[in-house]
Amino acid sequence: MPLGQLFLELGAVILALALVGRAAGRLGITPIPLYLLAGIGLGAFMHLGDAPEEFIHTGAEIGAVLLLFTLGLEYTSQELSDNLKANRQLGVLDLVLNFTPGLLAGFLLGFTPMAAVLLGGVTYLTSSGIASKILGDLGRLGNRETPVILAVCVLEDVVMAVYLPVVAALLIGGTLLAVGVNLLIALGAFALAFFLALRYGHVLSRILNVGSDEALLLGVLGLVLLVAGIADLLKVSAAIGAFLVGIALSGETADRARHQIEPLRDLFAAVFFLFFGLQLDLATVPGVLLPAALLALVTGAAKFWVGWQGAARAGVQTRGRFRAGTTLIPRGEFSILIAGLGLGIAPTLGPLAAVYVLLTAILGPVLTRFDAQIAPLLDRKKVAKAG
């Protein structure tokens, strides 16, 4: 593709995102739903060449990584460790309530047992990228319910460190030994990264905290991408690897890194959500819309209940409980990845997952924005029942 045409297409896409972002600002909502719809519109009415599509795909992956890195900067390793211990039971509730509907739906739709297990993974996992974007856009990173949201997302990634290696080995017909080796590698990598962040994070912060802003930016960005790449190769989420780098950094280094990374994060995050919309083939929507919508309603309610219960145990009031529940509703990048593993055994799994992800990714952010209007209604119902 000629360089001029590449620039024209990418420029048009980024300008479209800018207009969408401005519209979201005027409406007072997070731009995520509008980015998704913009992606659908571009995919339906504009054919991008191979080079722009490759850039957008790569940019989407970087966006997910940077979103989780900046979320990690908000917490210390000790806070994360204490938070995970306090919310272990919530993690079990989350697994039961959100994996089961997908598994059962897979059997009802006539999927093979393996494909049904994959659909369970699709419905189980909250999108950490979308959740962190919601929290950042609406200024809720410091809210009392945010540690609960964070704990659920991290516990889900721990489960994925077990789930993905096992499923991948079974899909390629691996032996029990191969499954066990993959599992040990993934869990070992996660445990090692968490230990290093907890024990030696202050050393890393001191090394990276140089006088030059340019050198700091390059050092932090290079480290984040390096760790994310290693994590992905070891069958651990690339985003959770970046998240642990954010956890490891503290003090002045974390503050400066946040300031330097945020513009890049915002650019690639917008590309990340646009990419979801571009992936959706509108011709496949009618055949999977009903089951996707039913799954979105059932698992949206289940995820809302998990967030509500977690925030309630933390002593958060009604509005905070509502925000916790709605922020956990969106599914995203990992759900698409899991569905992609099963395209060879269940061709409808990909379109079903894409529509399901789109519905939850729109529903969660919209509900979260209107907590001030909806949460008081729940309080009134509680008062009426008590009376």
For residue 80, tell me if it sits in a domain: no
pLDDT at 285: 84
Residue-level pLDDT at 49: 64
Q: What is the pLDDT of residue 62?
A: 85
Residue 11 lies in a domain: no
- Structural domain span for residue 135: 30-64+88-200+270-277+288-364
pLDDT for the residue numbered 327:
92
* Per-residue pLDDT, 241: 79
pTM recorded for the entire structure: 0.73
State how far the Cα of 20 lies from the Cα of 31, in Å rounded to an integer: 7
Closest among 255, 253, 263 to 219, alpha carbons compared: 253
Query: Given this model, what pLDDT does residue 329 score?
Result: 94
Q: Report whether 38 contacts 16 (CB < 8 A).
A: yes
The per-residue pLDDT for 42 is 77
Give domain status of residue 260, yes or no. no
Cα 68 to Cα 265: distance, rounded to the nearest angstrom? 10
Tokens 């503290």 -> residue: 250
What is the pLDDT, as a whole number, of residue 55? 73
Q: What tens digit of pLDDT does each residue of 263-290 get?
A: 888 888 788 777 777 777 778 888 899 9
Taking the C-alpha atoms of residue 241 and residue 233, their distance in angstroms, rounded to an integer, is 11
- Helix 318-327 vs helix 128-137: angle between axes, to the nearest 10 degrees? 140
User: What pLDDT does 47 receive?
Assistant: 66
Say what the pLDDT of residue 98 is.
95
Residue 38 inside a domain? The answer is: yes
Q: Domain for residue 47, yes or no?
A: yes
Q: Which CATH number goes with the domain that contains 99?
A: 1.20.1530.20
- For residue 119, tell me if it sits in a domain: yes
Contact indicator for 122, 351 with CB cutoff of 8 Å: no
Distance CA 134, CA 154 (A): 16
For residue 214, being part of any structural domain is answered with no
Question: Would you say residue 299 lies in a domain?
Answer: yes
**Token pair listed for 319:** 């509005």
The span from the CA of 271 to the CA of 375, in Å, is 32
pLDDT at 384: 53
Contact 271, 38 (CB under 8 A): no
Number of domains the chain contains: 1
Under-50 pLDDT residues of the chain: none
